[in-house]
Amino acid sequence: MSKFAIIGGTGLTQLEGLTIRNAEMLDTPYGATSSAVLHGMYAGREVLFLARHGHPHRIAPHQVNYRANLWALRHAGADKVISVNAVGSIASDLETGHFCVPDQIIDYTWGREHTLFEGDLQHVTHVDFSYPYDANLRKRLSAAIAVHGYSCKYHGVYGCTQGPRLETVAEIKRMERDGCDIVGMTGMPEAALARELGLSYASLALVVNPAAGKSDGVITMAQIDAAIKTGMDKVKSILARVLTA
């Protein structure tokens, strides 16, 4: 039977309603994970949960040990991973509080440990990454969102930046020309590592702010925090629906 893992991002360092059976700190070949892998029951189904930024939220996007996190989830038995991402909106049809289930990604990050295939290898390995998100898992997320009637863009391009700073107006204009619909800081190398490990992977992206230059004012953390607080209740209801569908 498939086992789901949920990677919680900003605003989701713990999963309310998760009945924890075990908290496992795994010794991985890539060092320590961001937090313990929690084994428990959620919405009546066995699930794994890991807080990407630690609990409490303390690890910056460029310092997350993505390799250790993904390796640990597979080692713990996961074969499907739902990544929860807080993002900014670039596309005009995405507003704060809306969701996006991206189908493509562009990587603007640098210097991150981004692959498992390096060092003293027996042979070089290349994985196909034409379609970075699992189609069936995206359909399940999309169906769950539709049942609840939440506003959502059911496809889109996630532009992943280095962080932790937010982007300049010029950078967002470039990303828009590149075709990006949303911008975040944690989509890569997480998605690529999941592919290397053979994990089905999809992103549930919650828009928490307009990207730089997409609103009249400056972006404030107070506005972002308010959007996260409101949106995370919706995120939890979507996750529960996916697990029980």
More confident residue, 2 or 37: 37
Residue 227, sorted as left (phi over 0), alpha (psi -120 to 50) or beta, turns out to be: alpha
pTM for the structure as a whole: 0.92
Q: What is the pLDDT of residue 17?
A: 72
Contact 74/2 with Cβ under 8 angstroms? no
The phi-psi region of residue 40 (left if phi > 0; otherwise alpha if psi is between -120 and 50; otherwise beta) is beta
CATH number of the domain within which 72 lies: 3.40.50.1580
Q: At what angle are helices 135-148 and 221-244 packed, to 10 degrees?
A: 100
The count of structural domains within the chain is 1
pLDDT in tens, 12-34: 645 667 777 888 888 899 999 99
Average pLDDT over residues 57-72: 94
Which amino acid is present at 129? Answer: F
10 labelled ligand-binding: yes
Residue 150, CA atoms < 13 Å, CB-side half-sphere: 31
State the Cα–Cα distance between residues 221 and 119, nearest whole angstrom.
40
Region 99-108 average pLDDT:
98
Q: Cβ neighbours of residue 145 under 8 Å, at least 6 residues apart?
A: 99, 101, 152, 154, 238
Question: Annotation-wise, does 52 bind a ligand?
Answer: yes
211 labeled part of a ligand binding site: yes
Q: Determine whether the annotation assigns residue 210 to a binding site.
A: yes
| Structural domain span for residue 70 | 4-244
Please state, rounded to an integer, the average pLDDT across all residues of the chain.
Answer: 91
